[in-house]
Amino acid sequence: MTNTSSSSSTELSNQLAAVKQAAEEAIDREIFSQVEAAVRAAEDKKAVDMTVLRLAEITSFTDFFVICSGASTRQVQAIADGVIEELKRLGLRPMNTEGYANAEWVLIDFGTFVVHVFTEASRRFYDLERLWRDAERVEL
C-alpha cells in the first residue's frame, strides 16, 4: 500500500509540475505578445535601433527591456505616447513613467517589461546594453 501511495504521490507531483510549467509558458507568451506590441508601436513612430533584452534569468524586477531611440526629444515623446496608447488599447497601463518632460530618456514601466526611449546621445551615454550585457538579446 505504501508503494501505491508513493507512486500516486509522485504522479500527482509530476502532474502539478506539468500544469505549473504550462501556466508559466502561457504567461511568458502573453508577456512576450505585449512586448511585441510595444515594439510595433515604437516602430510605428519611427523608433530606431530597437533592442529587446530578456532579463528574467538575471533579475527579479522585470522580465524584458525594450530599448529604442528617437532623433529628437519631440520624437522620443511621440514614441512614448505611441507605446502607452497602444498598450492601453490592449488593456495594459504603465505602473510608472519617468522622464517624459525632459525626454532625453523616457522610462515606461509596465511591471513585467520596461520600455526605454532615448535620444541618441543619451542612449550612448547610459549604454544600457553594456550594463545588461549578460541579458539574452531577443530577436523579433
Tell me: the pLDDT tens digits for 32-50? 999 999 999 999 999 999 9
Q: Which three cell numbers stand for residue 6?
A: 508513493
Q: Alpha helices, DSSP H only, in the chain?
A: 2-44, 73-89, 120-126, 128-131
pLDDT, residue 23, reads: 45
Give the model's confidence band at 9: pLDDT under 50 very low, under 70 low, under 90 confident, else very high.
confident
The CATH number assigned to the domain holding 90 equals 3.30.460.10
Domain with 56, as residue range(s), is 2-138
Distance between CA atoms of residues 119 and 72, nearest Å: 6
Distance between CA atoms of residues 68 and 65, nearest Å: 10
Tell me: the pLDDT tens digits for 58-101? 999 999 999 999 999 999 999 999 999 999 999 999 999 999 99
pTM for the full model? 0.82
Burial 75-104 (b: 16+ CB within 10 A, else e): bbbbbbebbbebbeeeebebeebebbeebe
Number of domains composing the chain: 1
pLDDT surpassing 60 at residue 124? yes
